[in-house]
Amino acid sequence: MSFSQSKKESARETIDILYEISVILNTGLDKNCLSLCVSLCENGVNPEALANVIKELRKHKLE
């Protein structure tokens, strides 16, 4: 397995684990959303601010 394939597999496993945690916590986030959130955090977005935005978007969706 090449380094690139290994890195992709590792990232996939990480998202799978995060998804399992997400399901246990009943967050309602799918693997795609989790992947986007991880990417945003890796690029400097504040995780708490991101969580607040997600909460606000859900509130507006329910209204």
Cβ atoms of 50 and 40 within 8 Å: the answer is: yes
Print burial letters for 36-51: b (CB count within 10 Å at least 16), e (below 16). ebeeeeeeeeeeeeee
pTM of the model: 0.81
What sign does the dihedral 11-21-42-59 (CA atoms) show?
positive
Q: How many Å apart are CA 57 and CA 51, to the nearest integer? A: 10
pLDDT in tens, 7-49: 889 999 999 999 999 999 999 999 999 999 999 999 999 999 9
Q: Is the pLDDT of residue 62 over 90?
A: no
Cα dihedral 1, 9, 43, 31, rounded to 10, equals: 160
